Amino acid sequence: MKRTHHCNALTKNNTDEKVRLIGWIQSIRDHGGLIFVDLRDREGITQIVFDPKNPNYGKDLPTLKDESVIEISGMVRKRPNDSAISRIATGEIEVVADGLKIHNIAETIPFPLEECKADRVNEDLRLTYRYLDLRRPKNLRALRLRHRIAHSVRNYLDRRDFIDVELPYLFKTTPEGAREFLVPSRQNPGSFYALSQSPQQYKQMLMVAGIERYYSLARCFRDEDLRADRQQEFTQIDLEMSFIDREDIYELIEGMMKTIFKEALNRDIETPFIRKSFREVMDRFGSDKPDGRFALELVDLSSIFEHSEFKVFRDCLKNGGSIKAINGKQLADITQGELKNLEDIAKTFGAKGLAFIKSEKGEWKSPILKFLSEREKEELRSALSVEDGDIVFFAASDWLHACTILGRIRLEVAHLLVSRKRLSIPKDQFNFLWVIDFPLISFDEEHGRYVSTHHPFTAPIEEDREKLKTDPQSVRAQHYDIVLNGFEIGGGSIRIHSAELQSLVMRDLLKLDEKTINDRFGYMLRAFKFGAPPHGGIAIGLDRLAAIICGADSIRDVIAFPKTQKGQDLMAQSPSYASEKQLRELHIRTITPQEK
């Protein structure tokens, strides 16, 4: 059955060659005396010409249908110049068939596979027949590009002396993180594994073991609500190194990204990447993963309204809060529905409403305008460069909430401007950014205690270490996020490698009790007492990176068999119910209707 060529290989240089091709029928056209078939495989398309009078296959031609699998033999001939197609590699030739073998006759497919039509098909239907959806060149290209990224990463890290180590999927539960998938242990009744959220603790143990440079394309599992950039199971480019500092991480990852983009996309990217502190990006963009491809920056107006007659602003500043604003350039024609949507978004982040001022036809319009003095209006105009056709949005709250509210509004404003063709955000522009100097801990109002901003194994910046007991919220972490086009594609840190410091963070700052510390992290603290080296690492989201490089709107587009927003695989019909026998073997009993 070996084919002599794939369906994108033949050119005019193959004229008069005898060839054999195998693939799927993309389309069939009956032109009177001749039948034309576009034969497709993963590489491309070749036009095949059948003569219905040929006794070798004439009787079989009526049975052919789109997406059937056939094998043909025939002679390559050059197409007439007026019928050549320049947009495909095989457009100058066609194969005149002299033999046909039918491997499989397809039923009528449930949706068209042409790109322009398939994209309009309901996604649930496409995911139910994902094996058909994957036949589309767009999806095949995405999987191939993902493969090139992974291949590039492996080669790059191998050149940098990393060792690929496979780590366990079955770990122990660590409730401080995201929700976990629990796996009951048949051999240990009543005990559970947790599917690994990330290999964090295992890879730190590799550093204690002396591996020095580890990497893995690690599968990770989190039981979280799905969005365009999230799946319950995903892949990380995971790595850890000993005897390094943050500068070593920056240099390594920038080199990796440079290699990936060159080998996968043939694009040169500039290094070193820009670095900004957490404080700066929140202050300017309202997000710790800002999209730098457009401006629309936040402006602090606290000094302007310090003595304002507007009670909302005055009280906010009196209580130590901030007044922030953003200018939606040329968006004064916003509709009531769009304005209501922005207000609803602001409320989800804790705002009571969304104050605004429109500038239309030389006049300012706003419910809050009557509370502002002429001086405040003039200074506001100057600070935000307000012009006719603009709309200004305000947030008055504590600094972090004010930034966060307007950060989300910034993205929505950009979306509205793009829809009106007043702002262009090119998908083929790649803006990398390191976000650094995150706070080590944050105060959780709901639980009334400090929590790790990232995870409890992150080391504090050395010069801040003395403030751990006196002013812990001011302590900065040796954490770093790498951001691309508004997405956090990776994050990591220099780790704590001292048992004493790790115990202090868990016990004195995070207020974990001794039993919890010993049960969940006892083995790690014990390992640190046997010569743990200084170490650090990072994890890059392979799915997110591939989606951005592909220009895809969702990471589902670069995953072969993704889950829906409800966490379902519609093709395989999972999750599914376990049988009574399976449950008994796991020592799990079913709940009766009365117990429900």
**Domains, the chain, ordered by start:** 12-104 (2.40.50.140), 139-276+431-438+477-497+532-558 (3.30.930.10), 294-419 (3.30.1360.30)
- Short-list 437, 427, 523, CA closest to 474: 437
Percent of the residues in the chain that have a pLDDT greater than 90, as a whole number: 79
Q: Which of 350-364, 441-455, 481-495 has the lowest mean pLDDT?
A: 441-455
Residue 445 pLDDT > 80: no
| pTM tops 0.75, yes or no | yes
pLDDT band at 569 (very low <50, low <70, confident <90, very high): very high
Looking at 385-394, 407-416, 468-477, 537-546, which range is the least confident one? 468-477
pLDDT at 81: 79
Integer angstrom CA distances of residue 500 from 36, 443, 533: 76, 23, 14
- Decide if 7 contacts 45 (C-beta within 8 A): yes
Where is average pLDDT lowest: 188-192, 233-237, 560-564? 188-192
When the pLDDT of each residue in the chain is averaged and rounded to a whole number, the result is: 93
Looking at residue 13, what is its pLDDT?
95
Paired residues of 73 in beta bridges? 20, 99
- DSSP per-residue codes, 430-480: --EEEEE--BSEEEETTTTEEEESS-TTBPBPGGGGGGTTT-GGGPBBSEE
Res. 594 pLDDT band, cuts 50 70 90: low
Residue 439 has pLDDT above 60, yes or no: yes
Confidence tier at 190 by pLDDT (50, 70, 90):
confident
H helix runs in 176-241, sequence order: 200-208
The angle at the Cα of 471, spanning 475 to 398, to the nearest 5 degrees, equals 80
Average pLDDT over residues 472-496: 96
State what percent of residues in the chain have pLDDT above 70: 98
Query: Do 181 and 221 meet the contact criterion of CB atoms below 8 Å apart?
Result: yes
Strand partners, 171: 194
Residue 595 has pLDDT above 70, yes or no: no
- Which pLDDT score, from 0 to 100, does residue 1 have? 52
Any idea of the CA torsion for 25, 28, 34, 40, to the nearest 10 degrees? -30
CB atoms within 10 A of CB 184: 15
The residue-averaged pLDDT of 345-352 equals 91
Chain position carrying tokens 């508004």: 486
Q: How many CB atoms lie within 10 A of CB 443?
A: 12
User: CB atoms < 10 A from the CB of 368, how many?
Assistant: 14
pLDDT digits 0-9 by tens, 122-161: 999 999 999 999 999 999 999 999 999 999 999 999 999 9
The residue to which tokens 């995870």 are assigned: 455
Residue 486 CA to residue 488 CA, distance in Å, equals: 7
* 47 neighbors 38 (Cβ within 8 angstroms): yes
Closest among 258, 255, 237 to 247, alpha carbons compared: 255
Lowest mean pLDDT: which of 69-73, 207-211, 221-225, 498-502?
A: 221-225
DSSP secondary-structure letter at 257?
A: H
Evaluated on CA atoms 202, 206, 208, 214, the torsion sign reads negative
Query: Which of 44-58, 168-182, 466-480 is least confident?
Result: 168-182
Q: Which of 54-63, 188-197, 277-286 has the highest mean pLDDT?
A: 277-286
d(CA 422, CA 417): 5
Over 90: is that where the pLDDT of 338 sits?
yes
Q: What does DSSP assign to residue 88?
A: S
Residue 596, pLDDT above cutoff 60: no
**Phi first, then psi: what are they for 328, rounded to 5°?**
-80, 90
Exposure of 79 by Cβ count < 10 A (0-12 exposed, 13-18 middle, 19+ buried)? Answer: middle
Task: Report how far residue 147's alpha carbon sits from residue 155's, in angstroms, rounded to the nearest whole number.
Answer: 12
> CA 69: distance to chain centroid?
35
Could you tell me where the DSSP H helices lie in 266-310? 278-285
- Let me know: does 486 contact 290? Beta carbons within 8 Å: yes
460 phi/psi in degrees, rounded to 5: -75, 155
Find out whether 446 and 471 touch, Cβ atoms under 8 Å.
no
CA angle (218 as vertex; 231, 428 as ends), nearest 5: 60
- b (16+ CB within 10 A) / e for 107-130: eeeebebeeeebeeeeeeebbbbb
d(CA 244, CA 247): 8
* Window from 152-161, 299-308, 404-413, 480-489 with minimum mean pLDDT: 299-308
Structure tokens belonging to residue 485: 């086009």
Confidence (pLDDT) at 141: 94
Is pLDDT above 90 for 586? no
Q: What angle do CA 117, 122, 128 make, to 5 degrees?
A: 110
CA-based nearest residue to 199, from 226, 171, 158: 171
* Distance from C-alpha of 472 to C-alpha of 443, rounded to nearest angstrom: 10
C-alpha–C-alpha distance, residues 191 and 173, integer Å: 10
- The sign one gets for the Cα dihedral 472, 474, 479, 482 is positive
Q: What's the pLDDT at 115?
A: 87
